[in-house]
Structure 1
């Protein structure tokens, strides 16, 4: 799954990313994060991979980091190895919080299902009469607990976040998440896009003690972007992400056993969505 990289030792592979540590003791504070072309849905890694997906995600994450006024995990101390140029990131090791910082500006996905059942999202009471894909009165922070490997992440209340990481850290994560979401929403709007929801991950930088933004940021894998023109026409389900894959799987697999191989046309359509989002953002916004 992970490739060999001279001078680096592979230490971990998630569903879509591979991590490496330097064999140089002087670089023990750094980690190499490689975004693969693998695609996952319903907690399974699927075949085949999406061509150039890793490069799309890395390009977009770095583009956002350059425009967000928040400390991030990237390091310019050494160059990315040639073997993973374009999809690798040299990053500072952070003491990560076990929280996925989800921010929603519009209601869809799992949030819509909870709202239909209870009128809430992660325990937050919302106004009556909202429609699928509708804009919320203001963005809301709906965190999730990052479960141990092999278990499902769990939506939790802000009170639970306080119990897990303390009130000061919980408040800081909520404020930072909404700050970044609002700034990203402004930039996306310039490209004719709506940022419906996203998730961030933060950690403490041991060198500075600062809360620092890590992982991927505002990519098709971590966010739901819509065309503003399509949304204005009343279209709510055509997002710039792997929803094409999820929809096809839901129609062609009962989530028992091994998932089927993705058809060539689904792979191509998904790659086109990723490429279009990168193009629209990076070409429309300076």
Structure 2
């Protein structure tokens, strides 16, 4: 079994951030590049669990690399290479930590918006829809009489803020996004997000996976070109449902970390740190879902 990496240690590089999953490094002498490393940390309800999921970082990286390649004709992305032998020399000394779980990327000015696309009603949007009474949510008029997990007539774009560490993202309307980042950039990001989702969802459905929703992150590169950044269409950033068992009107089994969330929901926990300890079987079953997602997508 892959040795779990909870946190990387690369002292010759400058650690910029430890996120919920990724460690981000600046590279001395290479100001236009960053090194992203996917650890085996896993979070739920914005809380990082104490126990890692061995191999998770490698699976996330493999899935992101697959999608970056498939979607490169829809939108440029920040990937330079995931081959450690092609990294700057100062990085290569950490090859044992980086192999299979890292990406050398172009530095971009990240737009502080989560680009969420939903093809099906689930999660927080389903909760908001039930409470609305009239189907109007986040400035959108959603169809009347929808069931949980039902598809929308067309995919919808529902942005959210990018929260600081320890804070929760906040869903916002398109109008609020326009006020924050400008109308032109908002329209470009919304159109790109829908185009990315459509191509990915069509492909995944042919592989037996429904992409119920996902979130993208975008930035402006050195030339001001809008670029896809961070991870893309992984089980951490998306809801993946098995097509063969899909039934609207209820929650769906999934290939993402919803399994972990469902387990935690059975516990007497206030959803604040520290998280309760996770039994080995929960970690193993979570890992198996990530592995199944990668297997289906790349079959």
Deviation at 1:232, TM superposition (A): 4.9
Evaluate the alpha carbon distance shift between residue 71 and residue 257 of structure 1 in structure 2; reply closer, same or farther with a 3 A threshold: closer
CA contact (8 A) 1:51 1:271 kept: yes
| Structure 1 residue 47 displacement after superposition | 2.3
Give structure 2 stretches of 5+ with no counterpart: 1-5
What corresponds to 1:9 in structure 2?
Answer: 14
Residue 243 (str. 1) matches residue 246 (str. 2): no
Count of matched residue pairs: 280
**Does the CA contact (< 8 Å) of 1:253 and 1:259 recur in 2?**
no
The aligned residue for residue 230 of structure 2 is: 215
Considering only aligned residues, what root-mean-square deviation do their CA atoms show, in Å?
Answer: 1.7
3-state SS in 2 of match to 1:139: strand
Confirm or deny: 8 A CA contact 2:218 2:229 kept in the other structure: yes
> Could you tell me whether the CA contact under 8 Å between 1:16 and 1:38 is conserved in 2?
yes
For residues 133-155 of structure 1, what are the alpha-carbon distances to aligned partners after superposition, in whole Å with 9 as ceiling and x for unaligned? 00111100000011233322110
Preserved contact between residue 117 and residue 214 of structure 2 (Cα < 8 Å): yes
Conservation of the 8 A alpha-carbon contact between 1:143 and 1:158: yes
Deviations 1:16-73, CA, capped at 9 Å, x for gaps: 11011112x2x11100000110000112110211111100100000000001021001
Contact 2:148-2:249 within 8 A present in 1 as well: no
Q: How does 1:115-264 map to 2 (within 5 A)?
A: 115-118=129-132, 119-206=135-222, 208-232=223-247, 236-255=251-270, 258-264=274-280
After TM superposition, the score normalised by the length of structure 2 is 0.89
Asked if 1 retains the 8 angstrom alpha-carbon contact of 2:117 and 2:197, the reply is yes
Of the three residues 14, 30, 35, the one matched with 1:32 is 35
Normalised by the length of structure 1, the TM-score is: 0.93
State which of 50, 62, 65 in structure 2 corresponds to 1:62: 65
Distance in 1 separating the partners of 2:108 and 2:285: 35
Are the aligned partners of 2:47 and 2:273 in contact in 1 as well (CA < 8 Å)? no
* SS of equivalent residue, structure 1 residue 241: coil
Contact 2:163 2:170 in 1 (8 A): yes
Which deviates more from structure 2 when the two are superposed, residues 222-231 or residues 73-82? 73-82
CA contact (8 A) 1:103 1:142 kept: yes
Alignment of 1:102-113 (within 5 A): 102-113=116-127
In structure 2, C-alpha distance between the alignment counterparts of 1:150 and 1:248, rounded to whole Å: 22
Partner of 2:100: 86
Q: List per-residue Cα deviations over 1:95-116 (Å, max 9, x = no partner).
A: 0101000000000000100000
Identify if the C-alpha distance between structure 1 residues 173 and 31 changes in structure 2 by more than 3 Å, giving closer, same or farther. Answer: same
Q: Is the 8 Å Cα contact of residues 149 and 248 (structure 2) preserved in structure 1? A: no
Query: Is the 8 Å Cα contact of residues 79 and 104 (structure 2) preserved in structure 1?
Result: yes
Partner of 1:53: 56
Query: Are the counterparts in 2 of residues 37 and 49 from structure 1 also a CA contact under 8 Å?
Result: yes
Distance 1:219 1:67 in 2: 14
Q: Any conservation in 1 of the 2:22–2:38 contact (CA below 8 Å)? A: yes
Unaligned 5+ runs, structure 1: none
